[in-house]
Chains A and B, each alone.
Chain A
Amino acid sequence: KQEVTQIPAALSVPEGENLVLNCSFTDSAIYNLQWFRQDPGKGLTSLLLIQSSQREQTSGRLNASLDKSSGRSTLYIAASQPGDSATYLCAVTSARLTFGEGTQLTVNP
């Protein structure tokens, strides 16, 4: 059974800081891994999708990496802004889609 863990559960940083969110999974036989953002009371917004054959994806200030052999993915956010404050979820597709519990990020002005 796939298990997805996100560390830390919560993170508070000053504006402008670069930060890394971590996601680990127990079964390396995955099809893809996706990072999402969720604002309070809202649905999920897809940030980055990494296929199993890829090692990283970039979009603007976001960079996601994937290391299947170690069962890890990181989401790097450069020059963080208050508008980045949200909960970030990673989800792994193997036999099914499994979500992590999320990292609640607060960027302070």
Chain B
Amino acid sequence: GAVVSQHPSRVICKSGTSVKIECRSLDFQATTMFWYRQFPKQSLMLMATSNEGSKATYEQGVEKDKFLINHASLTLSTLTVTSAHPEDSSFYICSASRLATNTGELFFGEGSRLTVL
């Protein structure tokens, strides 16, 4: 199956700093990637849809200036949490839809756990 890689898997940072999380599709091209946030014992919440070469589409209530998304190539999207605060601590997961098959099947990364002190 298709592989999506996230890096880093865990990151601890001080309040006020910025953290960048990478999402790569390793063996396929993805025009669209999605970023989710998951709180403990809850399901995933879609944060934004990332399209290659264009601005991301953010869900209602998600601050675009706080969660910067860049999708510079067909295999890489990045999420930068700017001026992180403890309430930003969460599990962030990305997913990608394979361009070639267009089945709508989504492949997910392993997730990145962010802890803001």
Could you list which residues of chain A lie within 8 angstroms of chain B, going by C-beta atoms? 31-32, 34, 36, 41-46, 49, 51, 89, 91, 93, 96-97, 99-102
Contacts and interface: CB of A to CB of B under 8 A. Distances in A.
Interface of B is mostly: strand
B107 interface: yes
B54 interface: no
B108 A45 contact: yes
A79 to B, nearest CB: 23
Interface string B34-76: 1000000011101000000000000000000000000000000
Contacts, number: 48
* Chain B, interface residues (CB within 8 Å), range: 20 to 34
Interface of A is mostly: strand
Contacts of B111: 41-43
22 contacts: A31-B104, A32-B103, A34-B106, A41-B111, A41-B113, A42-B110, A43-B4, A43-B93, A43-B111, A44-B44, A45-B108, A46-B105, A46-B108, A49-B103, A49-B104, A89-B44, A91-B106, A93-B104, A96-B46, A97-B46, A97-B106, A100-B43
